[in-house]
């Protein structure tokens, strides 16, 4: 009787597989970026489009809202190039100009599934041509823990400059209120319309409980908070990023924010290489090199695929 039930179950599963095969639509992966552990880092949905399954912008945005994670991105192969793709990024509410973790997730999908023969891929984006390179990893990612036999992905991104900001008394009080009265050491504006706020310590960053309704009222797209690592810390600096205007109250690990953080901390610490920690509840680690001459930021991190499937509509 048990054998008969098992056979019926196998038959049912085969029928489901056949039926699903007939309905296959847009292939997608969900990837956790800037981490080597599932359910950590920053999740991104990576969707593959081509000439046979083109979709309009309304559909792209609707799917991003359906996934309802910090970023959903869309990859389209560019004819005539084996390792060049068009790449677009969407939060649940809007398309954005630059996203690090979804770019890393896209490269991870291409490399780990053998979809490109090269160790370098190019992405044509709203921020120009961005590259992702597969590199071996034999160094330390966390204190005392060596991660070998896997690969890192290195993103080549533009520097996001920071500058002094002239805040009115009203704007200043709005930011202080949004950060729940936190002590502010320094404050800058970024070229991507974020406010970068420096807090006194790692604990000030990790324990911060911002007020999202008040962040929505601030004259910026989002707020990056950061602090230098303490003596003996494995990390040069810590950060968190809040962007409720894009439907993301807290971005778990934000690559583009680190393009601004690299610029800021390079000026403060007089160095170009950093190990950074984003102190969200999911957390993530980014290795950073700032190329001052070329005005580029190299972001290195890992990724883990946690889900794959097809969008059937």
Hey, which bits of the chain come out as E strands?
Answer: 26-33, 42-48, 71-77, 84-90, 95-96, 120-125, 128-137, 140-142, 145-146, 150-158, 162-164, 186-190, 194-198, 222-228, 237-243, 248-251, 273-278, 284-291, 296-301, 303-311
The C-alpha atoms of residue 199 and residue 109 are separated, in whole angstroms, by 36
Alpha-carbon distance of 9 to 3, in angstroms, equals 10
Q: Is 125 left (phi over 0), alpha (psi -120 to 50) or beta?
A: beta
Quote the strand ranges of 203-283, DSSP E: 222-228, 237-243, 248-251, 273-278
Measured distance CA(241)–CA(195) in Å, rounded = 10
Q: Are β-strands 120-125 and 140-142 bridged in parallel, bridged antiparallel, or unpaired?
A: unpaired
Positions annotated as catalytic residues are 71
CA-CA-CA-CA torsion for 181, 187, 188, 189, nearest 10 degrees? 20
Residue 66 CB coordination number (10 Å): 13
CA within 13 Å, CB half, 226: 27
Closest CA to 156 of 288, 304, 30, 272: 288
């Amino acid at each position: 009787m048990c054998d008969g039930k098992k056979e019926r179950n196998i038959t049912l599963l085969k029928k489901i597989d056949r039926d699903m095969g007939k309905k296959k639509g847009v292939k997608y992966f969900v990837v956790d970026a800037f981490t080597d552990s599932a359910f950590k880092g920053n999740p991104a949905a990576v969707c593959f489009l081509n000439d046979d399954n083109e979709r309009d912008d309304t559909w792209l945005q609707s799917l991003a809202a359906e996934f309802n994670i910090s970023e959903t991105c869309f990859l389209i192969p560019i004819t005539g190039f084996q390792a060049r793709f068009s790449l677009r990024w969407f939060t649940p509410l809007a398309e954005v100009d630059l996203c690090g973790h979804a770019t890393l997730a896209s490269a991870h999908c291409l490399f780990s599934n053998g979809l490109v023969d090269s160790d370098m891929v190019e992405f044509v984006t709203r921020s120009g041509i961005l590259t992702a390179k597969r590199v071996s990893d034999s160094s330390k990612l966390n204190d005392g823990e060596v991660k070998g036999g896997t690969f890192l992905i290195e993103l080549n991104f533009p520097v996001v400059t920071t500058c002094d900001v002239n805040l009115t008394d009203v704007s200043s009080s709005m930011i202080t209120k949004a950060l729940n009265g936190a002590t502010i050491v320094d404050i800058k504006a970024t070229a991507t319309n974020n406010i970068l706020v420096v807090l006194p310590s790692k604990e000030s960053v990790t324990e911060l409980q911002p007020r999202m309704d008040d962040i929505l009222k601030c004259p910026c797209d989002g707020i990056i908070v950061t602090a230098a690592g303490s003596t003996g810390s494995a990390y040069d600096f810590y950060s968190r990023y809040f962007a409720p205007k894009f439907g993301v109250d807290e971005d778990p690990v934000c690559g583009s924010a680190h393009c601004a953080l690299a610029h800021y901390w390079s000026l403060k610490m007089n160095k170009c290489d950093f190990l950074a920690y984003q102190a969200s509840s999911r957390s993530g680690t980014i290795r950073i090199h700032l190329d001052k001459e070329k005005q580029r930021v190299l972001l290195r991190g890992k990724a883990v695929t946690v889900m794959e499937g097809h969008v059937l509509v």
